Structure 1
Amino acid sequence: MKKYNIMKRYFNILLLLVVLASTYSCEDYLDQSPEDGLTSEQVFSDYFSTRGTLDRANRLIHNYVFNDSDWSSELNGMADDCQVSATRFPVHTVLNSGNWMDSNFREIGGMRSFNVNQEFNGNDIPIEIVGKAFIAIRAVNQVMKNIDLITEYPEGLGYTKVQLKNQLIGQAYFLRAFHYFQIIRRYGGFPIMDKVYDTTHDFNETRPTYLESTEFMVSDLDKAIELLPEQWNSQNLGRATKTSARALKAMSLLYAASPLMNPQLNPYGSNSKTYNIDLAKRAAQAGAEAINGLTAGGYEMFSMEDYTENWYSRNSGFPKEAIIQAPLSPNTDPNGSGRAGQGWFLAQFEGGWAVEGQPTQNAVDKFETISGYDINDPEAQTMGGYDPNNPYENRDPRFRRLIWVHGDDMYPDLPNPNPGAARTLNALPGGWHYNFENSRSKMFTGYYHRGKFKWPGCNKWHRSRGWFRMFPHIRVPQVYLDFAEAANEAYGPNGAVPGTSLTAVQAINVVRNRAEMPNVIAKYTADKETFKKRIYNERAVELFHEFHRWHDLRRWKLAQDVFAEGIWGADIKDVNGNIVYDKKIIQGAQRIFEHKHYWYPFPTDVMNIMTKFEQNPGW
Structure 2
Amino acid sequence: MIMKRYYKTLLFIFLVAPFFVSCEDYLDVSPELGISSEEVFTDYFNTRGVVDRANFLIHNYVYFNTDWASELGVMSDECQISQTRYPPHYVFNTGVWMNSNFRELAGMTNEKDWQEYHDKDHEAEPVSKAFLAIRAVNSVLENIDKLQEYPTELGYTPQQLKDQLVGQSYFLRAFHYFQIIRRYGGFPTMTKTFEISHNFDEVRPTYLQSTDSLVQDLDKAIQFLPEKWNDQNKGRVTKTSAKALKAMTLLYAASPLMNPDLNPYGANSRTYNNAYAEKAAIAAAEAINDYPKGGYEMFSMDQYTENWYSRTSGFPKEAILQAPLSRHTDPDGWGIAGMGWFLPQFAGGWQVEGQPTQNAVDWFETADGYDVSDPEAISSGSFDPSDPYSNRDPRFRALILVHGDDMFEGLPNPSNNDVRMLNVKPDGWHYKFETGKNKIFTGYYHKGKHRWPGCDKWNRSGGWYRMFPHIRVAQLYLDYAEAANEAYGPNGMAPGASLSAVQALNIVRSRANMPGVLAKYTTSKDVFRKRIYNERAVELYHEFHRWHDLRRWKLSKEVLGQGTIYGADIKDVGGQTVYEKKALQGALRVFEDRHYWYPFPSKVMDIMTQFEQNPGW
TM-score (norm 2): 0.95
Does the Cα contact within 8 Å between 2:334 and 2:463 map onto a contact in 1? no
Does the Cα contact within 8 Å between 1:56 and 1:136 map onto a contact in 2? yes
Distance 2:306 2:269 in 1: 40
The answer for the alignment partner of 1:578 in structure 2 is: 576
Moved more, 363-372 or 324-333: 324-333
**Percentage identity across paired residues of the two chains:** 64
The answer for the alignment partner of 1:222 in structure 2 is: 219
1:99: how far off?
2.9
1:575: how far off?
1.0
Does the Cα contact within 8 Å between 1:567 and 1:585 map onto a contact in 2? yes
> How has the CA–CA distance of structure 1 residues 182 and 469 changed in structure 2, closer, same or farther, with 3 Å as cutoff?
same
| Within-5 A mapping of 1:38-57 | 38-40=36-38, 42-57=39-54
1:296 is paired with a residue of what secondary structure? helix
1:7: how far off?
5.0
The answer for the alignment partner of 1:601 in structure 2 is: 599
The answer for the alignment partner of 2:378 in structure 1 is: 381
Q: Deviations over 1:568-604 (max 9, x none)?
A: 1000011122110000111111100000100001010
2:477 is paired with a residue of what secondary structure? helix
> How has the CA–CA distance of structure 1 residues 19 and 434 changed in structure 2, closer, same or farther, with 3 Å as cutoff?
farther
Alignment gaps of 5+ in structure 1? none
Q: Deviations over 1:512-537 (max 9, x none)?
A: 00000000000100000000000000
Does the Cα contact within 8 Å between 1:446 and 1:570 map onto a contact in 2? yes
Q: Deviations over 1:470-505 (max 9, x none)?
A: 000000110000000000000000012111231000
The answer for the alignment partner of 1:400 in structure 2 is: 397
1:294 is paired with a residue of what secondary structure? helix
The answer for the alignment partner of 2:11 in structure 1 is: 12
The answer for the alignment partner of 2:127 in structure 1 is: 130
> How has the CA–CA distance of structure 1 residues 153 and 470 changed in structure 2, closer, same or farther, with 3 Å as cutoff?
same
Q: Which of these residues, 168, 171, 174, is aligned with residue 171 of structure 1?
A: 168
The answer for the alignment partner of 2:480 in structure 1 is: 483
AA matched with 2:346: F
Does the Cα contact within 8 Å between 2:328 and 2:337 map onto a contact in 1? no
> How has the CA–CA distance of structure 1 residues 95 and 343 changed in structure 2, closer, same or farther, with 3 Å as cutoff?
closer
- 1:550 and 2:547 aligned: yes
The answer for the alignment partner of 1:566 in structure 2 is: 564
Does the Cα contact within 8 Å between 2:59 and 2:323 map onto a contact in 1? yes
| Within-5 A mapping of 1:174-189 | 174-189=171-186
Moved more, 452-461 or 64-73: 64-73
1:154 is paired with a residue of what secondary structure? coil
AA matched with 2:590: I
> How has the CA–CA distance of structure 1 residues 84 and 487 changed in structure 2, closer, same or farther, with 3 Å as cutoff?
same
The answer for the alignment partner of 1:303 in structure 2 is: 300
Moved more, 186-195 or 334-343: 334-343
AA matched with 1:9: K
The answer for the alignment partner of 1:617 in structure 2 is: 615
| Within-5 A mapping of 1:223-302 | 223-302=220-299
Distance 1:540 1:32 in 2: 43
1:331: how far off?
2.9
1:410: how far off?
1.1
Does the Cα contact within 8 Å between 1:73 and 1:345 map onto a contact in 2? no
The answer for the alignment partner of 2:326 in structure 1 is: 329
AA matched with 1:502: L
The answer for the alignment partner of 1:592 in structure 2 is: 590
Does the Cα contact within 8 Å between 1:83 and 1:445 map onto a contact in 2? yes
The answer for the alignment partner of 1:80 in structure 2 is: 77
The total of aligned residue pairs comes to: 612
1:166 is paired with a residue of what secondary structure? helix
1:21: how far off?
2.6
AA matched with 1:445: T
Q: Deviations over 1:90-144 (max 9, x none)?
A: 513202444312001111222123525864996x972111010011001111111
Distance 2:396 2:89 in 1: 25
Does the Cα contact within 8 Å between 1:341 and 1:460 map onto a contact in 2? no
Distance 1:535 1:204 in 2: 41
- 1:510 and 2:511 aligned: no
Q: Which of these residues, 447, 450, 466, is aligned with residue 447 of structure 2?
A: 450
1:430 is paired with a residue of what secondary structure? coil
> How has the CA–CA distance of structure 1 residues 84 and 16 changed in structure 2, closer, same or farther, with 3 Å as cutoff?
farther
- 1:111 and 2:112 aligned: no
> How has the CA–CA distance of structure 1 residues 73 and 347 changed in structure 2, closer, same or farther, with 3 Å as cutoff?
farther
AA matched with 1:159: Y
